[in-house]
Amino acid sequence: MDINTLKQALSIVTKTGGVPFIQSAPGVGKSDTVKQFAQSKAEELGLDFYEGPENYNPDAYGFIDLRLATIDIIDLSGLPIISASKETTQFTRSPYIPKAGHGVIFLDELVQCKPGNQSAVSQLILDKRVGAHALGKNWVIVTAGNRAKDRAATYKMPTHIANRLTSLDLEFSLSAFTEYMTAKSTNEVAIAFAQFRPELLESFDPDKGVNCTPRSFIAAANYIGVSPEGTLEYELMSGTIGEGAASEFIGFTKIYQELPPFEEFIANPEGIEVPKKADVLFATIQMLSYGTTKENLDRISLFISRLSSNPEKQVMYYKSVVSKNPKLIMEPACREFVAKNKEFMF
């Protein structure tokens, strides 16, 4: 399932009291998706959103991201203290086990943590409590981990835990990833390149030390134009997404920089040459969608109408435009195209 479907699944599973287990290749977006899910729940309830146990607020909606591979058992069980009678030992409540408020406890790296730590969290997963301390009734638990086949240092999950979880497989989706990059104001060149070479984002190989994943790709986008001569740019990108992907990315960036000025498409939409090369066309569409406004939409639409032999590119343009500015869907040029291509737009 893609990110948007996963969010729906998380809502259904947690609403019924279940505990989801999200698995995917590294870098596909498990952690960020769960955070977005928590933020959406905060909006639904009209509550402020906060992250981390250190910002605990019983009147807000929390998101506690707990990386199980890096914690000790005592982080969950709490510190032992001797009772006043000095006859028994009690345990303090861990800040990771809030007793009030609303929120999501995200147990990440579940299958990356050692069996001892998996056992430590089993009571929390199964009974929503640790020792004498119960998790607040309005808190839900979501778990996640990388797939064993990706050799991401996984351990076998105990059957008594696996039997209580609902496994959800997160797969890469270009459309969902494009929406995410747009929302995060990722460099427009990066968005165009992702649309041109989406297979690179699904090329994870456990035998490689550096991989181009959605997460590392966004990081690499930050290095566009960091050095005039381009040498440092290549070194940084290759160390983030691999040498081959870095070379392609930088080459595409140069194509983008050599496109005709945006103003020429506005001035002569029916006469300016339509790019014949696929990479140049992808770059052109992204440049135009990035600069589209209510005032120039009609002019740019005239150029886009000339791509009738490439209808998927037309859809790409209008999807990008609507994603950046949803209000433009009500403009005549956009509304007309959407009405004719509903099955491809949504």
Burial of 120 (0-12, 13-18, 19+ CB in 10 A): buried
Among 9, 46, 321, which Cα is nearest to 171's? 9
Burial of 280 (0-12, 13-18, 19+ CB in 10 A): middle
* pLDDT above 60: residue 326: yes
pLDDT tens-digit series, residues 196-241: 899 999 888 878 889 999 999 999 999 998 887 667 999 999 999 9
Query: Band of the pLDDT at 288, cuts 50, 70, 90?
Result: very high
**pTM greater than 0.85:** no
Strand partners, 102: 61
CB 60 within 8 A of CB 50: yes
Domain boundaries, the chain: 3-171, 175-345
**HSE-up of residue 282 (Cα within 13 Å, Cβ side):** 17
Q: Does domain 3-171 have CATH number 3.40.50.200?
A: no
pLDDT tens-digit series, residues 105-147: 999 888 877 777 777 788 888 889 888 889 999 999 999 988 7
The whole-angstrom separation of Cα 221 and Cα 182 is 13
Query: Band of the pLDDT at 260, cuts 50, 70, 90?
Result: very high
- Contacts of the segment 67-72: beta carbons below 8 A, 24+ positions apart: 67/108, 67/109, 68/107, 68/108, 68/109, 68/110, 68/112, 68/113, 68/117, 68/118, 68/121, 69/109, 69/112, 69/113, 69/114, 69/117, 70/109, 71/113, 71/117
Helices marked H in the chain — which ranges?
3-15, 30-45, 73-77, 115-127, 159-162, 174-183, 188-196, 214-221, 231-241, 243-257, 262-267, 278-291, 297-304, 311-324, 332-340, 342-345
* Predicted local confidence at residue 235, as pLDDT: 93
CA 248 to chain centre: 23
